[in-house]
Amino acid sequence: MLHLKIMKPTKNGQIVRFHTPLPDENPMQLYVLLEAIFDVERPRGKIKALNSDSYLASIHTVFLEDLEIAELETSDLLGYYVNMLKTDQTISNGKVMSVSQPKTLLDLNIVNHLVETNVLLTIIDEKGTEQAGMLIVKTS
């Protein structure tokens, strides 16, 4: 019998998914772990969907035992709606059209209510304008 090792989330900013989604849920849905809470009997985490094109995307609190670290390539982000930090420090959102490197070691940091990454990408915003910058996730 083959046993797959599920890598549990251990820190804020990790990209995760549910290891056993409900039948009506997208098994490929990605989330960012905004806050990991370990000082309770059953550790929990606050997560936010990565591909939400809503300005008011929900933050959900779930048990960490239900999550696994998502193994992904940056090219997996193609087609997702994301937020991006441009070089002028303004934030844009839109659909990912390209990534600078199809594979990279993902580096995540939480700074001022943002999860900043080292993923350089190009998006198309709602006006159809192409923009380049670094992938971010708003935490509030």
Q: Domain segments of the chain: what residues?
A: 15-69, 74-138
User: What is the radius of gyration, based on Cα positions, of the chain?
Assistant: 15
- Model pLDDT, residue 3: 42
Residue type, position 7, single letter: M
Of the candidates 13, 140, 135, 138, the residue with the CA atom closest to the CA atom of residue 84 = 135
Q: Name the pairing type of β-strands 130-138 and 81-85.
A: antiparallel
Q: pLDDT for 28-77, tens place per residue?
A: 888 888 899 999 999 999 998 876 655 567 889 999 999 998 877 888 88
Q: pLDDT for 77-113, tens place per residue?
A: 899 899 999 999 999 999 999 999 887 767 778 788 7
The position carrying tokens 């960490």 is 64
- Model pLDDT, residue 61: 95
Q: What is the pTM (predicted TM-score) of this model?
A: 0.62
Is the CA virtual torsion 50, 76, 21, 2 positive or negative?
negative
